[in-house]
Amino acid sequence: MAISKGDTVHWNTSQGRTTGKAVEKRVKEFTFDGQKFNASGDEPYWIVESSKTGAQAAHKESSLDAG
């Protein structure tokens, strides 16, 4: 299932499953929060925002569950 900006998404963290929203899709190499990510059209990343803390993070689209 494709993810769109504003969608509710879920992902796993060391603290457990987190819910938030998809903020921005990245399809080329980028740096976020001091880390470099090798995003591409075949392996896009999303900037996601936690609904619990408001913190943003970058995750591979394949590691996110929509809905």
pLDDT tens for 13-59 read 888 999 999 999 999 999 999 999 999 999 999 999 999 999 999 99
The tokens for 19 are 């819910």
**Residue 1 forms part of a structural domain:** no
Q: Return the SS3 of 34.
A: coil
**Residue 21 forms part of a structural domain:** yes
**Residue 3 forms part of a structural domain:** no
Using CA atoms, how far apart are residues 40 and 15, in angstroms rounded to an integer? 28
Predicted TM-score of the model (pTM): 0.92
**Residue 20 forms part of a structural domain:** yes
Confidence grade of residue 2 (pLDDT, cut at 50, 70, 90): confident
Closest listed residue to residue 3, CA positions, set 41, 42, 44, 32:
44
CA dihedral (35, 14, 7, 5) in degrees, to 10, reads 0
**Residue 2 forms part of a structural domain:** no
**Residue 52 forms part of a structural domain:** yes
Our count of domains for the chain comes to: 1
What is the extent of the structural domain holding 38? 8-62
Contact 18, 54 (CB under 8 A): no
Confidence grade of residue 1 (pLDDT, cut at 50, 70, 90): low
